[in-house]
Amino acid sequence: MSTTTTLADTGQVPRRLRTLVRRAERQHFSRMLALMAPSVVFVALFFVVPIALFLFRSVDNAEIPKYMPRTVAEIGQWHADDLPPEPVFRALAEDLIALKGQPEAAVLGRRLNYAVPGFRGLVTRTVRRLPAAVPHSAIDTLADIDARWLDPTYWATLKQQSGRMTDFYLLSAMDLQRGTDGAITRVDETQAIFLSLYGRTLYTSVGVTVICLLIGYPVAAVMATAGPAAANWLLMLVLVPFWTSLLVRTTAWVVLLQTEGLVNKVLIYLGVISEPLSLMFNTAGVFIAMVHVLLPYMILPLYSVMKGVSPVHLRAASSLGAPPITVFRTVYLPLTIPGIAAGCTLVFVLAVGFYVTPALVGGPGDQMIGYFIAYFTNSAVNWGLASALGAFLIVVIAAIYLVLGKVVGFDKLKVR
């Protein structure tokens, strides 16, 4: 006790030692940082930044302020009662005249059409028909071109969407809309599809994960305990489908599962069934194909964890008189939880993003959210909505991860 006090309080040696240790640690740390730097920079540049940029699009409202600067400036004066005054009409006419013959007119039209179907046609038609100079009465001119300009809905939408940021896409992704009075309401019943898609995506993914676990756990356990030759064969059987392209495997299921397909023919031949089962274009088909595609992602992490479980523990438990069930429940299962957690996370995250397989073997009631993210990104080029849909998916996955971490323990979620 007394010696420690002397060492800490006085004397050159301990202080120099402390400095030396600190310096060594600093050097070690900076070396580590230097080694990590390339991967950190890579992840930041090619992963974090693009995702952040794309997510920003879910609130970005660039088009309207950019292409309608005069209208945006004027429309603030109007209080969304009746019709806007002449200066607002004039501003809009000036904005649209400036877009004459420009491709931006179509881009603006497309953006406005998201909010009110038909707005695109209204904008392109008006741009085409407006005279080159701003007319003396903008109200009359615009009303002459299209009577819809006398409908306050279009103006109220413009006013609402005039900010630099918008909540339009995020609301749409939740089947919500902001009325012209500013209140948030559900969208029309015939249009509300996204919430049910999220529900179905989660339900399918959880179901597939559970089935994969139930099938994969015994397989991995057998692989881990089998002799080296048998284990190699089993590993090959797991890996060969894993290396085959997703599309090929899914198409193979189409051939197998259709009404006149192999599975039905064999079952009828064996007399198990008399009428062909409908295995495709329904939820059963989606589950069968997705479980098959994702099973290796469950088996491989389980296998690697199970390989590390020493048989000595199991033997010790048995020799102390524990029946097999108890050995499994109190020794094997707890030791393999990291594998279960890793496999389930992997399968679940991959399943959430699936859309090719459900599209090919599923029915109209089996589409998943990924299909729409791809549709709005590639075909409809509505990147705002695509990123809003993606943003919610990220939030949902993060929430599930947090809940899982709280229940199982974060340290167990790591693959060791």
Partner 1 sequence: MRIHTMIATAALALCVSASMASAETITAVHNGGTVGAAQHEAFFVPFAEARGHTVVEDTFNQELAKLRSQIETGNLIWDVVSVTAINEATACEEGLLERVDWAAILDLEDFKGAGGFGECGVPNNLVSGGLVYDADVIDPADAPRTWADFWNVEKWPGKRGMLYRAEQTLEVALMADGVPPQDVMTVLSSDGGVERAFAKLEELKPHIMWWKSGDESMQNILSGEVVMTFAWNGRVATANKSNDRNLKIVFDAGHVSGSQYFAIMKGAPKLDLAKELILFSSSPKAQAQYSRLIDYAPANAEAFDLLTEAELATLPRDHLDKASFQNGQLYLNFWLDNGDTLLQRFLRFAAQ
| Distance separating alpha carbons of residues 381 and 53, to the nearest angstrom | 16
C-alpha dihedral sign at 127, 128, 133, 139 = negative
User: Angle formed by the axes of helices 383-408 and 333-352, to 10°?
Assistant: 170
Q: Per-residue DSSP letters for 325-390?
A: HHHIIIIIHHHHHHHHHHHHHHHHHHHHT--HHHHHH--TT---HHHHHHIIIIIS--HHHHHHHH
Based on the shown chain and the rule CB under 8 A, indicate whether residue 367 belongs to the binding site for partner 1: yes
**CA-closest candidate to residue 355, choices 212, 204, 199:** 204
316 to 345, contacts with partner 1 by CB under 8 A? none
For 268, residues 6+ apart whose C-beta sits below 8 A from its C-beta are: 274, 276
Nearest distance, CB of residue 246 and partner 1, angstroms: 16
Binding mask 189-208 for partner 1 (x = CB under 8 A): -xxxx--x------------
Closest to partner 1 by CB, 51 vs 187, is: 187
Contact between 258 and partner 1 per CB under 8 A: yes
Q: Which is nearer to partner 1, 190 or 319 (CB)?
A: 190
Applying CB under 8 A, does 78 fall inside the site for partner 1? Answer: no
Encoded one letter per residue, x for contact with partner 1 by CB under 8 A and - for no contact, window 18-57 reads: ----------------------------------------
Say whether residue 379 binds partner 1 (CB under 8 A).
yes
Position among 69, 98, 114, 215 found at the interface with partner 1 (CB under 8 A): 114
> Does the protein bind partner 1 through residue 357 (CB under 8 A)?
no
**Binding range to partner 1, per CB under 8 A, among 162-170, 185-193, 318-326, 388-396:** 185-193
User: Which tokens belong to 271?
Assistant: 């007399």
Alpha helices for 44-100 (secondary structure H): 49-56, 63-67, 69-75, 86-98
Binding-site string for partner 1 from residue 117 to residue 146, where x marks contact by CB under 8 A and - marks none? xxxxx--x----------------------
Q: Rounded CA gap, 153 and 169, in Å?
A: 19
Type of residue found at 271: G
Q: Does 113 sit near partner 1 (CB under 8 A)? A: yes
Nearer to partner 1, 254 or 397 (CB): 254
Candidates 86, 235, 377, 400; binder of partner 1 (CB under 8 A) is 377
Minimum CB–partner distance for residue 378 and partner 1 (Å): 4
Residue 107 lies near partner 1 (rule: CB under 8 A): yes
| Residue 381 makes contact with partner 1 by CB under 8 A | yes
Ramachandran angles phi, psi of 180, nearest 5°:
-65, -20
User: Quick one: which of 110, 148, 249, 412 contacts partner 1 (CB under 8 A)?
Assistant: 110
Rounded to the nearest 10 degrees, how much is the dihedral formed by the CA atoms of 350, 356, 358, 359? 160
Size of the site for partner 1 (CB under 8 A): 37
Per CB under 8 A, the segment of 74-82, 111-119, 266-274, 296-304 that binds partner 1 is: 111-119
Where does residue 224 rank: exposed (0-12), middle (13-18), buried (19+ CB within 10 A)? buried
In one-letter notation, the amino acid at residue 210 is V
Among 9, 13, 39, 103, binds partner 1 (CB under 8 A): 103
Please report, in angstroms and rounded to a whole number, the separation of the first and last CA atoms in the chain: 41
Point out which residues bind partner 1 (CB under 8 A). Answer: 102-107, 110, 113-114, 117-121, 124, 190-193, 196, 254, 258-260, 281, 359-360, 363-365, 367, 377-382
